[in-house]
Amino acid sequence: MATREELAQAERDAWQAFMEVASRVPQDRRDDRTVVPGWSAKDLVWHNAYWAMFGAEESARQAGASFVDPFAGGGDDDTDRENAEQVESGRALTWDEVLVRAEQQRARVHELWSSLDEVSDEAAAFFAEESFIHYDEHREEIERFLEG
């Protein structure tokens, strides 16, 4: 598995690529909830920042212990409910507020991540899924939205 520093750099690189695409969404289409069914580009920026923070917090919370995926054995209902709640909270914000808060969350992600003495392969994989792999998935969806 990659080192903690390599994973942090992968997060930064993927976020930059994601935001380059998200910033191309015209201002009048940023709240258009058809990027993915029911979700806008603004929702996806907020969503990605949230889950990156969740991944870092979970890695920090479980530091020094055997990492256990918090979703193991659960169904999609809990994740869907969490997604709905966190996206709804971002909808009260403007695009610029979402960007500022997303960057604040990412700063905290890197603070938490760099504070870990050791990162297991399981924690690293979980962090990757919740951050840069996730960013890439939604970047592709926004690209398709822009092409359509």
| pLDDT digit string, tens, across residues 45-73 | 999 999 999 999 999 999 888 989 888 87
What is the C-alpha separation between 110 and 11, in angstroms, rounded?
9
Note the pTM of the prediction, 2 decimals.
Answer: 0.94
Structurally, the chain folds into a number of domains equal to 1
Q: For 97, what's the count of Cα atoms within 13 Å in the CB-facing half-sphere?
A: 7
Please state, in angstroms and rounded to a whole number, the distance separating the CA atoms of residues 18 and 136.
7
The HSE-up count of residue 43 (CA atoms within 13 Å, CB side) is 20
Measured between alpha carbons, how far is 64 from 116 in angstroms, rounded to an integer? 9
Q: What is the tens place of the pLDDT at every residue in 88-145? A: 999 999 999 999 999 999 999 999 988 988 888 999 999 999 999 999 999 999 999 9
What's the CATH number where 46 sits? 1.20.120.450
Q: What pLDDT was estimated at residue 148?
A: 87
Instruction: Say which amino acid occupies 54.
Output: F
> Which domain covers residue 35, as residue numbers?
4-147
Residue 6, both tokens: 């390599």
pLDDT at 78 over 80: no
